[in-house]
Structure 1
């Protein structure tokens, strides 16, 4: 996709023109209706009967050798609604596009119209063009939006041109990072070993100018990452520990240092506490936290954000053989603290414990955020609409909540009161990895992670089990969503502007 910008609308022959349309109390308002009528050459009452501008509603109208595509955004237009409408358009109606397609905001009201909404449109078009069938023998399909000769011409008032260009380019960069890591999450386990995540990280770092260091099993053992090694015991594939660092330009004499930790379990059988078979095939997605961190690092480097980012991704699968860790085993960790393993299916928090301890002790970031597809409890609480947020820092939580509202990647804060920690106390070790109780599962998992933060004053945990993998326009089953990248980039932009 190539982005072009014009300050006035000049329709060209054999071209598709996308016109987003917002609603006013459930129908197209008079002013947009009149504008559309003049553009497409149809009577207002005819248009009113055939198009209501509901969310994701699409109506194509030929007018001479041009094709006008009306795209409904619904009432109360915002970033999220716009993104999902354009995502739907690219996924389900890309046959309407031509290689030179125009986006014309002729009939929409909205705050920061030519900024955030244009960014959402570009992001949605690219993400909506994602294709799941990469392993089909007949796979040769490329959505027109991702073809090299596809040009999106955006009509922008001259006084807003500079800002809109920046917004739109950011939308494209984030969308490209999202679809790259979506392909990682959607890859089946036999095409996605820990070494594959490491190779992706190394290639991205070399291409976009940040640093990637990959630890092999010997280095992990020497460093004393015993929790990561314990989860890996049942696997024929060795673990890796991925360390990433990006140092952006220094602005205003300050540069916040942010640490990210992502859960990189490439497939989770549950270990000896084995999962039911019904949906186990979806456990290829259990590295959604790692994917969010990988995508954020790449996007931040491409956008040249003025921030110092360090990231750690412990990666292994959780498999079963005679050597696999057993319930009741006591293991050590990078922090030196001992852990009683109650449930081998609570493995993600074990590898995150090593990742958190490492990033805090060795890199001393001002802020630490970990992301993980960690608990079914968070899904039962929020469904697929929000991630569970835990934090010991009210300001950090506020920034993440605000970023979630702006991007549509919503989070909702849950408590980590001291009393919840009682459920994680062990008789035989410093802590146990599972409370053993069928309540407050996401909260007690967060309390476990908190134990390995060395009382860091600004830490947040995002349980993204319900948001990283779910229903999408791309296929019949569940698939990766790219959740977390847009959220974190918005968060990083907010902290660098303070």
Structure 2
């Protein structure tokens, strides 16, 4: 399906008109009825412009018009969700050609609109063998025209280009996250990154198990011991051409392609969802690819420690002490608190080999952050107020929300070990997300601009795509928005 921009308003064909819920709704509907030769009474009686509300009406020439409610004061994520919901629910009924009238809005909303439209075509049935043919609208012959004014066109085109770049990458990340463990492993992530680097011109380095052993990434190796699938460390580095001293941002993402909990095994009821435990990796790898596609003038390094956390006779056991890449020793209290253990090596490797100006790690790390924030925001942990403000600004812009939680030193007590430098789990049923963040803080090596994002409640959630939780692609849009704030710093 193609998405085009046009400034010539259509006189025929099916049309979608998004409508704001305002005090002037009656006047808006009167104007629309006159413009489209529709019944004013029908529009005013049956449509209130609530978010996701749809009213279909036919004009005298047979043209079908959909009024699509936006609710009050929609932000970027609202535009995305409204359009995604509409296209997902209506896709089987839509014709091959369709238009959307955006002339009443700012051109920048095209990003959310386009991402929503593209997202509405996502198919979660990755391995079903009896699938019917897909909707004609989302086939190669499908075409969508976004109608904008001449004044909007430049802004709208920029927004559409960005949306298309994000969507193509995000869709691949959704497929990877939704894939079960017998269809993906650490090497799958490595192979994807190599192919992406070749296509978009950024450097990729893969440290295999032998190299991990040679360089002594003992924390990552310890988590992998129970699996017959070897771990890897993926390093993706995008450096813009022709930019002098670009700001350097280091991103580290948890890449556990399946998590049984190890010896501290999880209950079976929801273990099948642990194919999603690579949400941080998806955000990091996706962000590096999008930055390269858009040729952002900023230096981005993504590191993903990737492994399975499985269990057999070789598995790391509770009480074992392992040595991380940084040389710190970790007492393993709970093998199901493995994400922070592999991030210890990913962060240590980043700090010591790349010295980024900013260091951000992302992980589906704790159930505790879901207990605190539900499925509406990821936890943000940082000692740097400026970094917190920049990430929060990016979150507010994109709707991929963050909420800052404390990193007070009083929580150090939770990771104090009697036999090692620190332990990986407090053993307490409270403040688990905070103690995990305090653990990771040690491996930031006092980096002045480090932030940890616990995305456990956001990377895999309830969506219209399926009856159980599935991938959201959370973090890519957030990080791209954040990187664009850093471009300003580069240019100062």
Q: Is TM > 0.5 for Structure 1 vs Structure 2? A: yes
Between the aligned partners of 2:135 and 2:283, the Cα distance in structure 1 is 24
CA distance in 1, matches of 2:433, 2:451: 13
The Cα offsets for residues 217-253 of structure 1, whole Å up to 9 and x where unpaired, read as: 10111110101110001001111110100012445x4
Q: Deviations over 1:45-82 (max 9, x none)?
A: 21111111111111222322422111111111221111
User: Paired residue for 1:3?
Assistant: 3
1:355 to 321, 325, 346: 346
Aligned to 1:321: 312
How far off is 1:145 after superposition?
A: 5.2
**1:312-367 deviation digits (Å, cap 9, x = unpaired):** 10111110101110000001010011000000000000000000000111011100
Q: Secondary structure at the match of 1:497?
A: helix
Aligned with 1:23: secondary structure?
coil
How do 1:26-425 residues align onto structure 2 when only pairs under 5 Å count?
A: 29-63=25-59, 64-105=61-102, 113-115=106-108, 117-139=109-131, 141-144=133-136, 146-250=138-242, 253-425=244-416
SS of match in other structure, 1:53? coil
Instruction: Using the TM superposition, name which of 467-476 and 42-51 deviates more.
Output: 42-51
Deviates more, 1:49-58 or 1:405-414: 49-58
Structure 1: how far apart are the matches of 2:369 and 2:135?
34
CA contact (8 A) 1:386 1:411 kept: yes
Instruction: Please say if 1:443 is aligned against 2:434.
Output: yes
Contact 1:127-1:178 within 8 A present in 2 as well? no
Shift of 1:306: 0.8
Aligned partners of 1:250 and 1:376: how far apart in 2? 44
Q: Describe the shift of the 1:33–1:254 C-alpha distance in structure 2 as closer, same or farther (beyond 3 A).
A: farther
Normalising by structure 1, report the TM-score.
0.95
Inter-CA distance 201–288: structure 2 relative to 1 (3 Å threshold): same
The structure-2 alpha-carbon separation of the partners of 1:451 and 1:213, relative to structure 1 and needing over 3 Å to count, comes to: same
How many angstroms apart in 2 are the aligned matches of 1:134 and 1:95? 18
Q: Structure 2 CA distance, aligned partners of 1:141 and 1:224? A: 50
What SS does the aligned partner of 1:158 have?
coil
If the length of structure 2 is used for normalisation, what is the TM-score? 0.96
Compare 224-233 and 172-181 and name the one that shifted more: 172-181
Preserved contact between residue 225 and residue 333 of structure 1 (Cα < 8 Å):
yes
Is the deviation greater in 152-161 or in 217-226?
Answer: 152-161
Cα distance in 1 for partners of 2:196, 2:131 equals 25
TM-superposed deviation, 1:254: 4.6
| Equivalent residues of 1:90, 1:145 under 8 A apart | no
Per-residue deviation, residues 365-401 of structure 1 (Å, max 9, x unmatched): 1001100000000011111110000012111111110
Q: Using the alignment, how far apart are the partners of 2:135 and 2:217 within structure 1?
A: 43
State the 1:143 CA deviation: 4.6
Aligned partner of residue 242 in structure 1, secondary structure: strand
| 3-state secondary structure, aligned to 1:422 | helix
> Could you tell me whether the CA contact under 8 Å between 1:250 and 1:307 is conserved in 2?
no
Q: How many angstroms apart in 2 are the aligned matches of 1:388 and 1:232?
A: 27
Q: Secondary structure at the match of 2:252?
A: strand
Structure 1 runs (4+) deviating above 3 angstroms are 139-146
Deviation at 1:298, TM superposition (A): 1.2
Native 8 Å contact 2:77 2:398 kept in 1 = yes
Q: 1:17 to 1:254 in 2, by over 3 A?
A: farther
* Deviation, structure 1 residue 146: 4.0
Structure 1 unaligned residues grouped into runs of 5+: none
Aligned length: 488
Structure 2 unaligned residues grouped into runs of 5+: none
| SS state at 2:64 partner | strand
Q: Is the 8 A contact 2:26 2:44 kept in 1?
A: no
Shift of 1:285: 0.3
User: Are the counterparts in 1 of residues 201 and 292 from structure 2 also a CA contact under 8 Å?
Assistant: yes
1:179 CA drift (Å): 1.2
Asked if the contact 1:210–1:247 (Cα under 8 Å) also holds between the matched residues in 2, the reply is: yes
**Shift, 1:95, TM fit:** 2.7
> Could you tell me how far apart the structure 1 residues matched to 2:253 and 2:173 are?
13
Cα shift at 1:35: 2.6
Deviation at 1:492, TM superposition (A): 0.6
